[in-house]
Amino acid sequence: MEMLEKMNQATLEEKLATGKYVLFFTADWCPDCTFIKPYMPEIEAQFTDYKFLQVDRDENIDLCQELMVMGIPSFIVYEDGKEVDRFVNGDRKTKAEVVDFLAQVN
């Protein structure tokens, strides 16, 4: 999974202008993020029509504020530069919950 560099919302939307993306917001210190991280390769393999990008919350705190991502781990789906859905809260997320979220986006 590619790590997103530090950027603002306008630059992000330019970067994601074409294609389907899942942004995975996380931080090294977050125990709930550590819980879901081992499942991410399996989730990526299941949803090959998306490019997954990891967003370090601490590195991109301004972007998180612009996108109203106040809890992690969180997921935002983009298609052709526009947000289409989000699974954003501060709760621990299971593999099944993330898979169900992404399946309903399609």
Give the model's pLDDT for residue 106: 66
Helix (H, G, I), strand (E, B) or coil at 69: coil
pTM: 0.93
Tokens 């999974």: give the residue: 1
Would you please indicate which residues are annotated as catalytic (active-site) residues?
A: 30, 33
CATH, domain 2-105, list 3.40.30.10, 3.30.420.480, 3.40.50.10610, 3.40.50.10800: 3.40.30.10
Q: How confident is the model at residue 89 (pLDDT cuts 50, 70, 90)?
A: confident
Sheet holding 20-26, edge to edge: 2-3, 51-56, 20-26, 74-79, 82-87
Task: Give me Rg for the CA atoms of the chain.
Answer: 12
